[in-house]
Amino acid sequence: MFSSLANKIFGDSNSREIKKFEPLLAEIAGFEDQMKSLDDDGLRGQTDRLRERLAAGETLDQLLPEAFATVREAAIRSIGQRHFDVQMMGGVVLHQGRITEMKTGEGKTLVSTLAAYLNALEGKGVHIVTVNDYLASRDAAWMGQIYRFLGLSVGCITHELTDDERRAAYAADITYGTNNELGFDYLRDNMKFRLEDMVQREPSFAIIDEVDSILIDEARTPLVISGPSDQPSELYARVDGLAPMLAEEDYDLDEKQRSVTLTETGIEHVEMLLKEAGIMDTGTLYDASNISF
């Protein structure tokens, strides 16, 4: 009863949260006439102007109202759609690194363009993660019209791309891809010996579509890279025979994660055992010639 009365007086937590956005929405709306007065080249020039202000010391939060107004006008001119206030609120929430739930018909695909554009101004790249290749390709082509109108580059990661094509897509200002493609690229990059062979760059900002599905349901399935081994099976039996020779200080056991990692002392001990057994000739476990072991 008290809870019901309090909600009537103060509103529920969601209503109070939404009310906080009203001054910011008014500030964004205040730029609308200015954006409309610009020709296409002038609107496109907003990207360079905002980046210059960012380089001069302004923060993304300070640029947000004008940047969002820029995207709103660009969307009208490029795809004929205008961001409504509810979408503006969603864009702010995404920029803050939080989860926003959009009802059917509220245009969640359009919402992502706001936070994506704002964070792309830093030049570090933005990932937009979707659940399948179809949605990644569709949204990259559809929403990509807005980004390209504003002078940003757009990439899309799909399974048939070569390493060079993937590298180019990741180098774009906005990169669309599925959680599996991005995850496997990360794993493959960690198997490469040279930095220049890697396809991904340092991650900066990501927007995840269907976040419950990707971070909860999909996350239950591990990403594993495997293939047939060209090593004789007897090698594994020989290495397995060395395990009992390890002391407790040679490894850290994490029962919760069900994982075992070698300590620095353990690595040195394993290297010595491998050499004594004739399994490894020279060098360390981290030498390229010994990676197969």
Structural domain of 268 = 234-290
Partners of residue 189 on adjacent β-strands: none
Q: Does 112 share its domain with 217?
A: no
Choosing from 82, 103, 122, the residue where a domain stops is 122
Check whether residue 32 and residue 47 sit in a common domain: yes
Q: Are residues 172 and 214 in the same domain?
A: yes
- The reply to whether 163 and 185 lie within a common domain is yes
User: Would you place residue 175 in the very low, low, confident or very high pLDDT band (cuts 50, 70, 90)?
Assistant: very high
Q: Which of 82, 61, 68, 58 is closest to 34 using CA atoms?
A: 68
Same domain, 100 and 135: no
Global pTM exceeds 0.85: no
CATH (domain of 200)? 3.40.50.300
Question: CB of 175 within 8 A of CB of 126?
Answer: yes
Distances (CA, A) of 280 to 45, 277, 283, 291: 60, 8, 8, 10
Q: What is residue 255's predicted lDDT score, i.e. its pLDDT?
A: 78
Three-state DSSP class for 268?
Answer: helix
Q: In this structure, are 4 and 53 located in the same domain?
A: yes
Q: What are the tens digits of pLDDT across the range 71-95?
A: 999 999 999 999 999 999 999 999 9
Here the CATH number for the domain that contains residue 265 is 3.90.1440.10
184 exposed, middle or buried (CB, 10 Å; 0-12, 13-18, 19+)?
A: middle
As a whole number of angstroms, the distance between CA 179 and CA 184 comes to 9
Neighbouring-strand partners of residue 261:
252
Same domain membership, residue 2 and residue 72? yes
Residues 5 and 85 in one domain: yes
- The total of structural domains in the chain comes to 3
Higher pLDDT, 252 or 219: 252
Please write down the HEC assignment for all residues of 137-165. HHHHHHCHHHHHHCCCCEEEECCCCCHHH
Residue among 228, 163, 155 nearest 197 (CA): 163
User: Among residues 187, 204, 226, which one ends one of the domains?
Assistant: 226
Name 129's bridge partners: 177, 208
Report how far residue 222's alpha carbon sits from residue 28's, in angstroms, rounded to the nearest whole number.
Answer: 42
Confidence tier at 230 by pLDDT (50, 70, 90): low
Range in 217-221, 231-235, 257-261, 267-271 with the lowest mean pLDDT: 231-235
Q: Give the mean pLDDT of 40-52.
A: 98
Q: Using alpha carbons, select from 138, 85, 143 the residue that is nearest to residue 113.
A: 143
Residue 58 has pLDDT above 90, yes or no: yes
Domain end position, chosen among 107, 122, 137: 122
The stretch 125-135 carries a mean pLDDT of: 95
Q: Say if residue 212 is in the same domain as residue 194.
A: yes
In this prediction, residue 268 carries a pLDDT of: 92
Q: Does residue 18 surpass a pLDDT of 90?
A: no
Of 16-20, 63-67, 145-149, 268-272, the poorest mean pLDDT is in 16-20
Average pLDDT value for the chain: 90
Burial readout 51-63 (b: 16 or more C-beta within 10 A, e: otherwise): beebeeeeebeeb
pLDDT for 231? 59
Report the pLDDT averaged over residues 146-157.
Answer: 98
Residues 90 and 131 in one domain: no
